[in-house]
Structure 1
């Protein structure tokens, strides 16, 4: 298990959120019972994630920093990082601490849990 593998999946996910294909990407990578715990206080299952991303405006750009791998077992790991994303020039950046828990499925990885904790921005 290598941090670069999971970091590559996170970048693929963020790129899909930027190019408008997030619903397809997360629909295929999430486990059947996977969930996302989002900054606005909602918990979405895979079906709700796909539906919400199909209607969401794309992100313009994003950054991933301070990433670290937390090994959970032989077939499971969490990637924890600070994410910063921008929709347009007028909106402030969305900044959150993010955790993605992956499980090995066959020869690839599946996303079982994604969680966001917003980081308050100075005033």
Structure 2
């Protein structure tokens, strides 16, 4: 029987706390040590405030607005701080990394879409251009 590493144990706890499809996709990839989760792997091991930063990042990733919302407004709602998801903060870096992972691995969410998860995600909330593909009926 193979025991999970400390980061694997943390990841499993986060999966239980944040079962939303986007969070699941990212965390399950981290458990598999997917190369695109390198930043997340480093944060698991090195950041003493990892649980706090990751909690806010996953809360944001799991509750993306259905309509356009400016990032400071969204950050205020999620973190209680308009700068909580800024790209130069640890929480913001994790959130942006997670959002990029979801964007890059969007096709893996097919089952989630079939189960009715349909945020109309605009990457404008994170200051990037473009958007995710629309949900298919």
TM-score, normalisation: structure 1: 0.26
Structure richer in strand, relative to its length: 1
TM-score, normalisation: structure 2: 0.24
Structure richer in helix, relative to its length: 2
